[in-house]
Amino acid sequence: MIQRKPENFSQGADVFEPGLLKDRRILVTGGGTGLGRAMAWRFAELGAKLVLCGRREPVLAEAAREIEAAHGAIVETFSLDVREPEKIESMMDRIFDSGGLDILVNNAAANFIARTETLSPRAMDAVLNITLHGPMYCSLAAGQRWIASGRGGVILSIVATYAWHGSPYVVPSAAAKAGVLAMTRSLAVEWGPKNIRTVAIAPGPFPTAGAWERLLPRPDLAQHFETRGPLGRPGRHGELANLAAYLVSDMAAYVNGECVTIDGGRWLKDSGNFSFLETLSDEDWESFRPKKG
Catalytic residues: 162
CB-based contact 64:75 (threshold 8 Å): yes
Between strands 49-54 and 75-79, the pairing is parallel
Element spanning 105, H or E = strand 103-106
Cα three-residue angle 290-87-56, rounded to 5 degrees: 45
End-to-end CA distance of the chain: 19
Classify 78 as helix, strand or coil: strand
d(CA 191, CA 255): 13
- The 3-class SS string of 222-240 reads HHHHHHCCCCCCCCCHHHH
